[in-house]
Structures are given as structure tokens and as C-alpha cells.
Structure 1
């Protein structure tokens, strides 16, 4: 990773601290208070040793000093515990804020963008990579301040007692952060590569797990097992590389700290032997001065050593921040709801497209140019071969894909409307039902309040009542993740019931019966056909059955609408629709 990129990520990480600044400040203050107690503790211990060894005072005269020393130990332990708690709270708040940013951006980007990456990579971004921020904010950032303040306080105490010992500490201190930075630059790059390997491994493993039946069917189990093993070995090697750098950093810090402390000890040893006669301001060197300097010398380097210990937390955070920062900053800016006028139409929806070019998130043209008009109350079936651009049009109408040209809702550009207000006006049923709530009732109601009679009417219309009695708890049946315990057809019927229950002016249907058996498809399509007569509806389908009941049929090919008309018009004249009807016999492949 380039140095400029590391600096950019470091600045970004520090900006995220704003939401937890009180906790990080408290952690720093508690660390500073603990350092003051360390100095007081060293002073008391040196005084106690001086009284016992040099002056040989009776016990009654040094008992108070011993009591204060023990009190310092107890208070330091309490402060250390409080500091750990404050640091944890700081990291917890920032992790929550980062996850909220990621989830908000995913919601803004929509499913069309999310599907470009494996689910495992998003899980890695939200879990592992965000979790790696904890120690950076809980320990490293407060320790950066303490690594400057605590050695400065110790030097203020040592210099008046012995300037030679203070100079030794002052001269050797810069060596530690210098070598720590040199090792840390390599550690950040290694962590970044490690996170990339973890994201790939997570995505590949989840994709293979989901497709396990297909892999077995085509006898690809052994080959995919070897691929997972190779990816795991690559991740293991990268992890060991990170650990090697972390151990190297610790070894460097310990070496220079030990050398410096040894020099201080040698200086005092020769001073006591009468070989060195400088450093104590022309007076005789005392046992108190030697004890104080030797006790504080390790404490002088301890904040720097702790910073080195936590430096791997910075390297991990920078490596994790690379993917987070890229994701949060690379998406097209979505205007906040506060910057957009409230949209609450006072008349039925009129949708008009002129020169509409539907783009992928990366800028690739998906469909267009499109020119059409969808009048209030019209029921339109959109047909065409796979890849013609039908689902892209649905995603554009949902507001999940960027576009060029014009796509107006009652005269307003769709891109200028608050997405929340727009989504309140429409209902959508796709190919794969998404049931995020815990129970069947919660998934159908989706936060709405309706009467029991209305709920039963909707359940009967969608065909949910047919299998509801077979569920152990009926409407209170817990489905779990991925609608476990329900067939695809049953889950789709619940999704249809949810759409039918929602007040709406536009109903978007993206092949709702594509994955269903004949009986489930019959229930779903019958319910949707009845619902389509109550509002404007756009149906994407590969099936030509019963299209005669729809007001209009649009035929798409290569991203463009090439034919429009009613069933009678399109079947009575030669053209793309008649060709599809003849060759596919009601089933467009």
C-alpha cells in the first residue's frame, strides 16, 4: 500500500472518532491519572528503600510511606479497569456507527449493486473488518497521546534529580517510534492483503455452500474442495505473515528499551563505584536517585512499548479501512432525503420515459434508449428473451439503478424524488421472496395494522391459508433465516400477500412465478391478476399464458422496446411477439 494511501486512511479513521470522542478522551485521562500514580509510586518506593537501606530508619517512621504505596497499587488497578471499560465503549460506539454507514449505503445502493459481489464479502465487511477497528479506537489512539505525555512527565521528575539519566532516556526514546513506524508500514500492507484474502475466502465458501447440491449433481465436489483448501492455505500464509511482522515489531521495541535501561543501570553502577562524577549537580549521588531513575526507566519506555504492542491494531485498522473507505466513498452520492422535496402526489401516477438510458453502477449501459408512457390504471406485461433488459427497467423504476435521459413521475424526475416517499407508493414482488421478519404474521403485515377480517381476506387471496394450517404455530410460525421450513412456493405466496396488503399506486412484478410449481404459480398469478385491476401494474414475465387479459404488451429486445400493443393487435400481425408465441408456445426462454 502506498504511503499516501495509508495517510489518507489514517485521516479517515481519525475522523470516525467524533462519535465516541467523550469515551476516548476519558480513556486518555484515566491513562494519564494512572501515569501520575506510577510516578508517585516510584517516588514512594525509592524513598522507602532509601530509608530502609541508607538511613536504616525504624519501622514506625516508614509505615505511612508503605501504606501510601499500597494505596497507589489499589487505585492504579481501579483506574486500569475503568480505562479498559472506557476504551471498550469507544470502540463499540464507533463499530456501530461504521456498520450503520455501511448498511445505510447498501440500502441506498439497492440490490442491483449488492448482487455484484458475493454475500460472503459483505459479511466480511460488516463483521470481521469492522470488528478490527475495536483495538484501534479503544487502545491505540488513547495510547498515542499517552506515549507523548507520560515520558514527558517522567523526564520532568528525573531531570531535577539526575540530568545524566534524563539525557540517556531522552536520547534513546526516538529510536523506538522510528523503528516501530518502519515495521508498521509493512504490517498495514500485509493486513490489507489478508483482509482481501479473507473476503474472497468468505464469498467463495458461502457460494459453494449454497450450491452444494448442484456441485454434487455435476460431480464437482472434490474439485471445489481442493479450491477451498488452496484458498484456506493462502489465507493461513498471509495471517502468518502478519504475525511475523507483529512479533518483529515487539522484538525491536524490547531490544531498544532494554539497551536504554541497561545504559542507565551501568551509569548509576559506575557512579556508586566512584568512577563517574557527573549528572547529580555537583552533590553526592544518593541511593534515592538511583532507585527512582531505575524504577522510572522501564515506565518511561512502557507507554512506547504499549504503543508498539497496539501498533498492530493500527495496521489491522488501516488494512480493514481500505475496503470500508473504498466502499463508502466510491458509490455515487445519493442526495439525502432532507435535500429533496417531499413527494406526495395528489393524483394517480403517470410514468413517462424519454431517451431513457439505464446504467449499471459501474457506468455500463444496461438498456436503452427507451421511450414509453404508463398511464394510471394501465396493466402492462413486459416480455422478451433473457438479457433483454426487463429486470433492469424494473430496478430503474424502483430507483436502484442510475439512468440518463428522462424518467418522470407525474412530471418529476425519479432521481429527484426521496426514495422513501417513492417506495411508499409502490409494491414489488420478485423472483426470489425475501422474508426478513421472524414470523409469518410479521412478514405479511410488514409493520402495518389491519383488521383480522382483512388479513384473512388477503391470506385467502394469495393462497397462504391453504398451507397455514399445516404450520405448527400458524401465523406465529417462526421461519428463521432464508424462510427455513417453507417451500419456495409457500414463501412466494407470503411475499405476494405482503404486497397485496400494502397500500399502493404502482405494482411491479418481476417474474413472480419463475421458480414455482404449477399449483403455486396458479395461486400467485391469480392473486396478482386480481390485484392488478386496482392500480397501475407492470409485469415482467417469460410466460405468455393469460396475457390476453392484460391491457397492453411490451416486447423488449437488446435493451429496447421494439413492439407495443394489445394481445389482439400483436397476435393478428407478424412481428417479434407473434414469432415468440409461435416458436416458444407460450414459454419465452
Structure 2
């Protein structure tokens, strides 16, 4: 990673500290108070040693100092615990904020953009990479301030007592951060490569896990296992490289700290022997001065040691922030607040002229398309896989960019407020998504409806057939990815949610996919009844159930090549008749 890029990421990481400034400030303040207690503790300990050894004072003269020393120990322990708590809260607050920013950005970009990368990449970004920033904000950033303040306070105490000891500490201190920075540059680059390898490994593993049945079918299990083993070994080696650099940083720090403390000890040893007679302002060197300097010398380097121990957290954070900062700094969609919202009271008229549907990376997915969806019209969209049907659904949802014209009641879709447009659209896809906690919350989706209306929708979608079998009925928890429900049950809940939502446009993207015959029949019957109430566009591969739809559009290679009613298309040769013949042949 270039040095300029490292500086840029470091500035970006520090800017995020604003989201938890009270906690980071509290952590630093507690560290400063703890440093003052360290100085007081060293002063009391040096005084005790001087009184016991040099002055041989009776016990009643130093008991008060011993009591204060014990209080310092207990207060430092309490402050250390409080500082850990404050640091953790700071890191937690920033991690939550960053995850919210990523999720909000993904929501703005839409599912079509998200699918450009494997799910494992997004999981790595949201979990591992953001999680790796915890120690940076909880420990490293507060320690950076303390590594300057605490040595400065100690020098203010040591210099009036013995200027030679102060000079030794002052001269050797800059060597530690210098060598730490040199090692840290390599560590940050190694961490970045490590996170890239982890993201690739996560994505590849998840993709192979999802396609396990296909791999077994084509006898590719052993080959893919070897590929995963090779990727895992590469990741292990990269991780060991990061650890090696982290240990090297710690070793360099300990080496220079030990040399500095040894020089201070040698200086005072020769001073007591009378070989060195400088540093004590013309007076005799005292046992108190020697003990104070030797007790504070390790504490002088301790903040730098702690910074070195946490320095790998900075390298990890910089490596993790590379992809995160790039993602959050990429051009955002236009602000929705300045766009008009479509009127929910007007009948919906959708007109497309020379419409070209583009992928997020600029690749043409479908088009040019010319069509009109009139208010209340019900259209079934058919075609082979890859014809562009789902792309048309995604562009109507506002999740894909387009060229040409796509007008909603005379307004370009790209110029409409996305949230306002989504309030007028209900969507049911191939894979049901139930993000809320319970069945009831997933169906209502924040709406307030009467019990009678809810019961009617449950019966229409077929939810009432299984809801009584769930432990708590409508209040049963769906769990992650609706794991407590079958696919058919989850799809019926998604259909009930769509039926309950007041909308002007109903988009159905193969809602019967992955369902058994009975569930599919029930779902399609409910959606057919619901299609009578608003404009509806259905994407389906089931051609035999389209006799009751107003119009059928046939897509091939991204274009609508045929359209008409069931009666018209079945009575004339053409693409639809060919599709119908092939489907019937497959069934036979």
C-alpha cells in the first residue's frame, strides 16, 4: 500500500472518532488521572525507601505514607477497569455507526448492485473488517495521546530531581516510535492483503457451499476441496506474516526500553560510587532521587510499550479500512429529498421509450424496450432464463440505472423520490425475505389494520392453514432467514405482506419458484385475485396458467419480441407457441 494511501486511511479513521468522542475523551482523561497516581505512587515509594534505609525512621513516621500508597494501588486498579469500559464503549459506538452507514448505503444502491459481489465479501466487510477496528478506537487512539502526556508528566517530575536521568529518558524515547513506524508500514500493507485474501476465501467458500449439490452431481467435490485447502493455506501464511511483523514491533520496543532503563540504573550506580558527579544540581545524589528515577523509568516507557502492543491494532484498522473507505466514499445516488414523490392518488401509467437497462458497471442488460403499462393492466412476462425479465423488474423498482425514457405518470423514474415510489409498489420475489422478528410484524410491515382485514388476507394467502401449528401463532419468531418456516410457508407470508400493502403497482418475480405444487397453486391463486386491484406485472415460467391475464409479453435477448392475449398467442405461430410446446414436451 502506498504511503499516501496509508495517510489518507489514517485520517479517515480518525474522523470516525467523532461518533464516540465522549467515550474516547473519558478514556484519555482516566488514563491521565492514572498517570498522576503512578507519579504519586512512585514518589511515596521512593520516600518510604529513603526513610527506611537512609534515615531509618520509626514505623509511626511512615505508616501514613504506606496507607496512601495502598490507596494509590486500589485507585489505579479501579481507573484501569473504568478505562477499559470507556474504551470498549467507544469502539462499540463507532462500529455500530459504521455498520449502519454500510447498510444504509447498500439499501440506497439496491439488491441489483449488491449482487455484483459475492455475499461473502459483504459479510467480511460488515463483520470481520469493521470488527477489527475495535482495538484501534478502544485502545490505540487513547493510548496515542497518553504516550505523549504521561512521559511529559514524568519528565516534569524527574528533571527537578536529577537532570541527567531526565536527559537519558528524553534522548532515548524518540527511538521507539521511529522504529515502530517503520515496522508498522509493512504491517498495514500485510493486513490489507490479509483482508483481501479473507474476503476472497469467504466468498468462494459460501459460493461452493451453496452449489454443493451441483458440485457433487458433476463429481467436482475433490477438486473444489483442494482449491479451498490451497486458499486456506495462502490465508494462513498471510496471517503468520502479520503476526511476525507484530512480534517484531514488540521486540524492537522492548529492546530500546530495556537499554534506556539500564543506562539510568548504571548512571545512578556510578553516582553512588562517586564516579559520576553531575546531574543533581551540585548537591549530593540522594537515595530518594535514585529510587524515584528508577521507579519512574519503566513507567516512562510503559505508555510507549502499550502503544507498541496496540500498534498492530492500527495496522489491522488501516488494512480493514481500505475496502470500507472505498465503498463509503464512492459516488452516492442523488439525494432523494430534492426529488418529487409520485402522487398515490393518481392512476398509474408507465411508459418506456428506447429503454436500455444497464448494470451498475455500465454493461447493457436489456433493451431497447418500448412498452406501456396502463392503469389496472395485468401483464405476464415470459421468456427463457437470461432473457432480461428480472432486469426489467429491478429497473421498475429503481435498483438499476437506465438510458432512454421510463416515465411514471409523465415523470422520469430516475427523477422520482425512491422511498415515495416504493410506497406505491408491492413486490414478491423468488426467495421470501422476512426481516422482522415475528410473523405478525413481517405481514403488517408497520401498518395498522383491523383484525377482520388481517384475517381475510391470511385466508387469501393460505397463511391460516399453518399459523395454528406455530408455537405462538402470529407472534411466533421467524428466526434468521426464516429458518423456523418452510420455503412455502415463508413465501405465503411474503404474499400476505404484499396483499396487505396498499399499492398502485404489484411486481411478481416468479413467486412460485422453489414451491411444491400445492403451495404454488395456492400462492398463484391469491396473487391472481390480488392482481385485479392494481397494475400488475408477473414474471413466470408457468405458461399454462396465463389465460386470465390481460396481455402476455415474450422476452428474448433483452427485448420484447411478441405481445398479445393468451388467445392471440396460442392461435398463431411464434416464440410463445414454441415456448409452450417445449414446456408441454418437458412435462410429458
> What corresponds to 1:261 in structure 2?
261
Distance 1:57 1:500, change over 3 A: same
| Alignment match, 1:12 | 12
After superposition, the Cα gap between the structure-2 partners of 1:348 and 1:171, relative to the gap in structure 1 and judged at 3 Å, is same
How far apart are the structure 2 equivalents of 1:578 and 1:35? 84
Alignment pair present for 1:163 and 2:199: no
Which residue number corresponds to residue 60 of structure 1?
Answer: 60
Deviates more, 1:320-329 or 1:241-250: 320-329
Q: Where in structure 2 are the equivalents of 1:494-505 lying within 5 Å?
A: 494-505=493-504
Per-residue deviation at 1:483? 3.0
Confirm or deny: 8 A CA contact 1:543 1:587 kept in the other structure. Answer: no
Count matched residues: 587
- Distance (whole Å) between structure 2 residues aligned to residue 257 and residue 475 of structure 1: 65
Give deviations 1:451-492, integer Å, cap 9, x for gaps.
333223222222333444555554444443333354333332
Shift of 1:36: 1.3
Partner of 2:193: 193
Counterpart of 1:562?
A: 561
Deviation, 1:258, is: 0.4
In the alignment, does 2:91 pair up with 1:88? no
How far is 1:315 from its partner? 0.8
**1:87 deviation in Å?**
0.7
How far off is 1:585 after superposition?
4.4
Q: Which runs of structure 2 are paired with 1:82-231 in the superposition (5 Å)?
A: 82-231=82-231
- Indicate if the aligned counterparts of 1:353 and 1:373 stay in contact, CA closer than 8 A: yes
**Alignment correspondent of 1:434:** 433
Greater shift in the superposed pair: 436-445 or 470-479: 470-479
Query: In 1, Cα distance between the equivalents of 2:498 and 2:320?
Result: 39
In the alignment, the residues of structure 2 paired with residue 571 and residue 377 of structure 1 have an alpha-carbon distance, to the nearest angstrom, of: 24
In the superposition, the TM-score normalised over structure 1's length comes to 0.94
CA distance in 1, matches of 2:278, 2:393: 85
> Which TM-score applies when normalising by structure 2?
0.94
1:408 Cα shift? Answer: 1.9
Unaligned runs of 5+ in 2: none
Q: Is the 8 A contact 1:140 1:307 kept in 2?
A: yes
CA contact (8 A) 2:344 2:504 kept: no
2:165 partner SS: helix
User: How do 1:480-559 and structure 2 match up within 5 A?
Assistant: 480-559=479-558
Give the distance between the partners of 1:88 and 1:314, measured in 2 at CA. Answer: 16
**Runs (5+) with no aligned partner, structure 1:** none
1:79 and 1:473 mapped to 2: Cα distance?
47
Alpha-carbon shift at residue 386 of structure 1 (Å): 1.6
Question: 1:545·1:586 contact (CA, 8 Å) conserved in 2?
Answer: no
Secondary structure, aligned partner of 1:564: strand
Query: Could you tell me whether the CA contact under 8 Å between 1:543 and 1:586 is conserved in 2?
Result: no
Give CA-to-partner distance per residue, 1:350-402, whole Å, 9 cap, x none: 11222322211122121122222211111112222221211011001111112
Q: What is the DSSP-based 3-state SS (H/G/I as helix, E as strand, rest coil) of the residue aligned with 1:406?
A: strand
* CA 1:470–1:169: 2 relative to 1, 3 Å: closer
The alpha carbon displacement at 1:532 in A equals: 0.9
Question: What residue number does 2:25 align with?
Answer: 25
Q: CA deviation at 1:519?
A: 2.5
Query: Would you say the 8 A contact 1:544–1:587 is kept in 2?
Result: no
1:504/1:575 CA distance change after superposition, 3 Å = same
Taking the aligned partners of 2:19 and 2:404, their CA distance within structure 1 comes to: 40
Does the aligned pair in 2 maintain the 1:133–1:316 contact within 8 Å?
yes
| Separation (CA, whole Å) in 1 of partners of 2:343 and 2:27 | 49
CA distance in 2, matches of 1:47, 1:485: 69
SS of the residue corresponding to residue 533 of structure 1 reads: helix
Q: Deviations over 1:129-170 (max 9, x none)?
A: 111111100110011111111111111111222111111111
Go from structure 1 to structure 2 and tell me whether the alpha carbon gap of 1:564 and 1:260 turns closer, same or farther (over 3 Å shift). same
Question: Could you tell me how far apart the structure 1 residues matched to 2:367 and 2:21 are?
Answer: 49
CA shift in 2, pair 1:540/1:428, >3 Å: same
Q: Deviations over 1:416-453 (max 9, x none)?
A: 32222211111111111222334433333333333333
1:451 and 2:456 equivalent?
A: no
Q: Are 2:359 and 1:360 aligned?
A: yes
- Paired position in structure 2 for 1:378: 377
Give, in whole Å, the separation in 2 of the partners of 1:31 and 1:45: 21
Give the equivalent residue in structure 2 for 1:461. 460
> Which runs of structure 1 show a deviation greater than 6 angstroms over 4 or more consecutive aligned residues?
none
1:506 Cα deviation after fit: 0.3
Q: Deviations over 1:286-317 (max 9, x none)?
A: 11211111111111111111111110111111
1:333 aligns to what SS in structure 2? coil
In 2, the alpha carbon distance for the partners of 1:451 and 1:214 equals 47
Deviates more, 1:196-205 or 1:428-437: 196-205
The alignment's C-alpha RMSD in Å is 2.2
Structure 2 counterpart of 1:351: 350
Contact in 1 for aligned 2:95/2:133 (Cα 8 Å): yes
- Post-superposition Cα deviations, 1:75-127, rounded to whole Å, max 9, x if no partner, equal 22221111111111111100110111111112112211222233233222222
How big is the shift at 1:568?
3.9
**C-alpha deviation, 1:256, in angstroms:** 0.3
Distance change >3 Å, CA 333–CA 44, structure 1 → 2 = same
Contact 1:506–1:537 under 8 Å retained in 2:
yes
Report the equivalent of 2:317: 317
Distance (Å, rounded) in 1 between the aligned partners of 2:583 and 2:512: 17
Alpha-carbon shift at residue 554 of structure 1 (Å):
2.1
Contact residue 19 and residue 97 of structure 1 kept, 8 A: yes
Alignment of 1:243-258 (within 5 A): 243-258=243-258
